[in-house]
Amino acid sequence: MRAVLLLLVLWPSAVVAQGELALDSLDATDYEDAVRRLHDGDLDVDFQTMRFASALTDAYDPYDTEPREQRQRLNEHLYQHDAPEAALLVADSLLAVNYVDMDAHYGAGVAHDRLGHADEAAFHFEVFEGLLDSLLRTATGTEDDPFVVVRVDEEYVLIAVLRLELRGQSLVDCANTQCDRMELHDPSDGGDVDLFFDVSLPFGHMRRTMAGR
């Protein structure tokens, strides 16, 4: 567990306004421009801006269950059926709607790698790393400094990357906002740690959606 905490402490971080305040200077075109540049092969984009700006697009629907079901199919194609071509179809479908989907980029990278497409695999892995880095740079994950997520699925990506086991989850108040508290266990050394995630962006979208009904 000391290794996990050291990683989170040493990872370069930048001060970002929590939740919805982070969107004040952005609009949907920031996301669209970044996606267009990536499609052109330009990896020198601001992944944090792209990730936050995705919350301003018409396609933003953080509690839609269909993408989660698609991610499950993606993993089944990759890890149960060894069907990289089918996995790519699912990954491309996910990315067509949400180009900051880290699971989809990682899955596309694995699929391309198995098919011998080295350049395509490297591209998707680099985008995945850029998006993950943009999440880690929002904060340190403590109760006073929670990571800012655009979608709750990002929480599980980070937990998987850190190779931690989820033992409990609760919605709490932290740093003057709503947070997911994730109670985690490190099987490598038996240690436990809590990580906190600012969920004001997806919660704010849900409130606005319900108010508009």
Number of domains the chain contains: 2
Query: Do both 59 and 28 map to the same domain?
Result: yes
Q: Are 108 and 95 in contact (CB under 8 A)?
A: yes
Q: Are strands 165-174 and 177-186 parallel, antiparallel or unpaired?
A: antiparallel
* Share in percent of the chain as helix, strand, coil (round to 5): 55, 15, 30
Query: Do both 184 and 122 map to the same domain?
Result: no
Kindly report the CATH number assigned to the domain that includes residue 113. 1.25.40
What's the confidence (pLDDT) of residue 75?
Answer: 97
CA dist 144 and 139 (Å) reads 9
What's the confidence (pLDDT) of residue 111?
Answer: 98
What's the confidence (pLDDT) of residue 21?
Answer: 59
**Ranges of the chain with pLDDT below 70:** 1-22, 213
What's the confidence (pLDDT) of residue 90?
Answer: 98
CA dist 78 and 108 (Å) reads 10
Residue range of the domain that includes 102:
19-136
Q: Which residue has the tokens 């880690």?
A: 136
What's the confidence (pLDDT) of residue 1?
Answer: 52
What's the confidence (pLDDT) of residue 161?
Answer: 97
Query: Do both 106 and 177 map to the same domain?
Result: no
The pTM assigned to this predicted structure is 0.88
What's the confidence (pLDDT) of residue 10?
Answer: 40
Q: Are strands 147-148 and 191-198 parallel, antiparallel or unpaired?
A: parallel
What's the confidence (pLDDT) of residue 121?
Answer: 99
Boundary of a domain, candidates 121, 136, 151 = 136
Query: Do both 92 and 148 map to the same domain?
Result: no
Query: Do both 131 and 40 map to the same domain?
Result: yes
Boundary of a domain, candidates 136, 161, 182 = 136
Boundary of a domain, candidates 136, 162, 189 = 136
What's the confidence (pLDDT) of residue 208?
Answer: 80
What's the confidence (pLDDT) of residue 175?
Answer: 86
Query: Do both 175 and 102 map to the same domain?
Result: no
Query: Do both 162 and 182 map to the same domain?
Result: yes
Query: Do both 130 and 32 map to the same domain?
Result: yes
Query: Do both 53 and 123 map to the same domain?
Result: yes
pLDDT tens readout for residues 138-169? 899 999 999 999 999 999 999 999 999 999 99
